[in-house]
């Protein structure tokens, strides 16, 4: 009798574990849908070209980066900018003064991303807004 009870408990435990691992929770489903909608919003956003002027067609990568960096440095609250590649992803960082308006930083980073996509076609690119040593915004594009 003890053997039947222990076998029943073992089977019940195994069934609970398998069901728990196999079905995503409502929270997991909600997180996945939020992540997909955030990616959709980023892809749907088109930058307002208020801040940066595109480099002429046929401009070299170095000249294009210098041109965009120079334009970014002329914007308010910008301390610095850099473009670099790490693990196959091209990053464009904009460093802002402390207390920068996050909407403004996002819009400038969005334009920077658009410029990086033109300069580095068919590559993954990320534009980041930094302030006080922290990333305040990060926008990525994967072809």
Report the predicted TM-score, pTM, of the whole model to 2 decimal places.
0.60
Summarize the confidence of residues 91-117 as an average pLDDT: 90
Dist CA 121 CA 96 (whole Å): 27
The half-sphere exposure of 62 on its side-chain side, counting CA atoms within 13 A, is 0
pLDDT of residue 138: 92
Q: What would the CATH number be for the domain defined by 58-141?
A: 3.30.300.30
Mean residue pLDDT of the chain comes to: 75
CB 27 within 8 A of CB 90: no
The more confident residue out of 116 and 45 is: 116
Domain boundaries, the chain: 2-43, 58-141
pLDDT of residue 110: 92
Helix (H, G, I), strand (E, B) or coil at 82: strand
Percent of the chain with pLDDT over 70: 57
Place of tokens 């955030």: 38
Strands 89-96 and 124-131: parallel
């Amino acid at each position: 009798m003890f053997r039947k009870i222990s076998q029943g408990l073992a089977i019940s435990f195994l069934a609970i574990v398998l069901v728990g691992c196999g079905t995503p929770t409502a929270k997991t489903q909600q997180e996945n849908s939020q992540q997909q909608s955030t990616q959709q919003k980023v892809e749907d956003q088109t930058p307002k070209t208020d801040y940066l002027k595109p480099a002429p067609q046929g401009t070299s990568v170095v000249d294009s980066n210098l041109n965009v960096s120079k334009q970014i440095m002329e914007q308010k609250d910008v301390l610095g900018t850099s473009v670099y590649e790490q693990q196959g992803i091209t990053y464009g960082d904009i460093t802002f003064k402390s207390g920068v308006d996050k909407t403004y930083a996002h819009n400038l980073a969005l334009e920077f991303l658009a410029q990086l996509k033109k300069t580095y076609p068919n590559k993954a690119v990320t534009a980041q807004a930094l302030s006080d040593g922290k990333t305040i915004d990060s926008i990525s594009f994967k072809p």
